[in-house]
Amino acid sequence: MVTPEDIKGWIEAGMTDCSVNCEGDGHHFEAVIVSPEFEGKSRIQQHQLVYGVLGDKMEAAIHALSMKTLTPDEAGA
């Protein structure tokens, strides 16, 4: 079963200076993702970036992922 730590690891491995806070029960997950790669991108493009990093796992392993994407500025980091 997929754990929130798996998802955190997958996303952080695929993005620059990325920090992920993920919670979930094995079926539904919620992730807050902060990365400078989101700067200058629309919300759709930000989510597409994360979906791109997760690739096939989005279809195969993760039933439902709710996400909030933030730039470091937006996160107040």
Contact pattern for another protein over residues 7 through 36, marking x by CB under 8 A = ---------------------x--------
Burial code of 12-48, b = ≥16 C-beta within 10 A, e = fewer? bebbeebbbebebeeeebebebbbebbeeeeeeebbe
Shortest Cβ 19–another protein spacing (Å): 18
> Would you say the C-alpha torsion 13, 15, 21, 24 has a positive or negative sign?
negative
Interface with another protein (CB under 8 A), residue from 6, 12, 19, 58: 58
CB 66 → another protein: shortest distance, Å? 5
User: Which residues contact another protein (rule: CB under 8 A)?
Assistant: 28, 43-44, 47-48, 51, 58-59, 64-68
